[in-house]
Structure 1
């Protein structure tokens, strides 16, 4: 049997110690079987275990192997499409539910870190940086929108103020969200997995789900065993493959790239980001960056539609980093990696149920660190019969990509090119 290891990344190289977890071999019975040990699966498992369910998690590779252990590490509120888009899509009651939930995931992360003493370098403060007047106007509207839903830890920054928090002369202003922040994403996942096991949950690694037998008592098969359960939660996101064809038809894996510098001097690091906030710009194809605990700059951006691995990640991302911080021209890049997220046509997450007992959440569209933690809570509520919030997500409309699987990648890339051109032209 193959043994899938973590990709070569800064996060894998600096991960906390982890136990060796077994493969699934033989037959297991449980209350809930969860497919995927990323944030969605781990968050679901924790909420269910805390409510007395017996939980088994199947992971095809290792805990946090996918986007949960490779992302930019930024805690960003709301969804990939903001609440104003949702308000135009659903009724007022559902909009209120979804709007108030938009800020819950960040608090769930902080609660988990505190309750289970997870060592993941948690820092407060995230900046949305505006490059054009149009983007600044959008941030002003976003602040009003978020405050309408009770989120008040926000500060609009003019050009002078943003220069105090990030040494980049591209920005004309920004929005500081003190309930945002950043973490070591793989260590967060590893800490949550340890919490799952401390409550009696069982995690099998190197145990990819190969088939789901649907019915009154569903069964999930792996190469060497099977799990019978009362409920199944499908939480594989971009790494699910075609296990559930009806989910694959309405989503598309996409790749994003990240580089990490060598450790910077204390003086240089504190010059770049004096308050140690994380930053993302407001472009359609955005750049994002932050400092690690050992003072490296972690910088990501770009999208590869269809999730192909670029031949030279550093060649793609380093110029973006130097455009923001030309003072880093002589700094060495120690790590470069790619990871996949799952894109939906609406850019909103897909939540639902297949039959009576197979639940799923997928398609964070690049905005998943906070949403996935909320999704775990919402899925656990639904399994207990409290489905109001689950139904609000499930009611969001979703569509297959135009052209099917053959044309979805080029058509989506063409649309992204159009919006990227708009960013460059400033309109």
Structure 2
């Protein structure tokens, strides 16, 4: 059932793009590349499982020669090409959703950080510039919910992540890197992910940070990881570099709950939020309207709290993620 809901999440995203005519550079194709030889057998078996157990025929295995040709580097040992998945420009997508919401009557306030949610008759959301009262509150800030709700915060951990965009280098075009135009991620626990843009740049993300302070060396930091995949890009100019906060859960499934009457939470998409966040919004909207069937599937999934309580859960995460990062290199 979770598989079917995952497929529905993709359909919801594509439906939003089509219905609201959002120009966000949608392209088909996602390659999951294998970074260690020891993982080849299990990843290849997963392709067979998707076909045999789920009837998913859009996926195919790429051997080392094929994945090298597909990505433009020989550092990977195989890969899984999914022609039922794809990628888009998330900023253009978000702006398109905002325009559609505003057209439907929603009010969008920027630069108004929520600091507190409390009940006094109706719910009151206090911000640093005022307050809003409502019968129903949806906590949808993902990695930006610090101090808002203890229950959500216990189950969802913010992670800082960084990305760069090169100058146009012909990526996603014949003769360039990733000529098919697919997006790529790999099997590292601390994952690398990259894709060509519509104007031929390479956007590359990797090297999460747990320092809880803004980096001033983002381009240099991410370039070190980029060069482990594409060493021949040394010296390539970086036009843009930026960072942001995502959120993870211990089991990597989204945290979707009704925390108390009138308060819903959706967070912890663990890197899959482009498809899962809009879908979570639909599930919550349906639940508010009385259709709780699909919402209850996610709400019923056990989601363990991060160990260590308020004081120690973040140091525990840093220790655990450091171990997984080391394992990625072994």
**TM-score over 0.5 for the pair:** yes
Distance across 2 between alignment mates of 1:267 and 1:347: 30
Select the residue among 67, 79, 82 that pairs with 1:177: 82
Q: Equivalences for 1:300-311 in 2 at 5 Å?
A: 300-305=205-210, 307-311=212-216
Identify if the C-alpha distance between structure 1 residues 422 and 221 changes in structure 2 by more than 3 Å, giving closer, same or farther: closer
Q: Equivalences for 1:177-256 in 2 at 5 Å?
A: 177-214=82-119, 217-256=122-161
> What is the match of residue 5 of structure 1?
none
- Give the Å deviation of 1:193: 0.7
Q: Is the 8 A contact 1:269 1:291 kept in 2?
A: no
TM-score by length of 1: 0.72
Select the residue among 162, 167, 180 that pairs with 2:72: 167
Distance across 2 between alignment mates of 1:265 and 1:392: 43
Greater Cα shift, 267-276 or 163-172:
267-276
SS of the counterpart of 1:399?
coil
SS of the counterpart of 2:108?
strand
Q: Which runs of 4+ in 1 moved over 3 A?
A: 144-147, 221-228, 265-270
Select the residue among 224, 240, 247 that pairs with 1:319: 224
Distance across 2 between alignment mates of 1:304 and 1:209: 24
TM-score by length of 2: 0.92
Distance across 2 between alignment mates of 1:300 and 1:144: 29
Greater Cα shift, 380-389 or 267-276:
267-276
Q: Is the 8 A contact 1:281 1:288 kept in 2?
A: yes
Identify if the C-alpha distance between structure 1 residues 399 and 215 changes in structure 2 by more than 3 Å, giving closer, same or farther: farther
Aligned residues: 329
- Give the Å deviation of 1:182: 1.4
1:140 equivalent in alignment to 2:44: yes
Select the residue among 198, 201, 204 that pairs with 1:293: 198
Distance across 1 between alignment mates of 2:161 and 2:181: 23
Structure 2's unaligned 5+ residue stretches are none
Larger RCO (CA under 8 A, 6+ residues apart):
1
Structure 1's unaligned 5+ residue stretches are 1-95
Q: Is the 8 A contact 1:347 1:365 kept in 2?
A: yes
Q: Equivalences for 1:75-90 in 2 at 5 Å?
A: none
- Give the Å deviation of 1:352: 0.9
1:108 equivalent in alignment to 2:26: no
Select the residue among 263, 285, 295 that pairs with 1:390: 295
Identify if the C-alpha distance between structure 1 residues 417 and 355 changes in structure 2 by more than 3 Å, giving closer, same or farther: closer
Identify if the C-alpha distance between structure 1 residues 267 and 377 changes in structure 2 by more than 3 Å, giving closer, same or farther: closer
Cα-Cα RMSD: 2.2
- Give the Å deviation of 1:406: 2.9
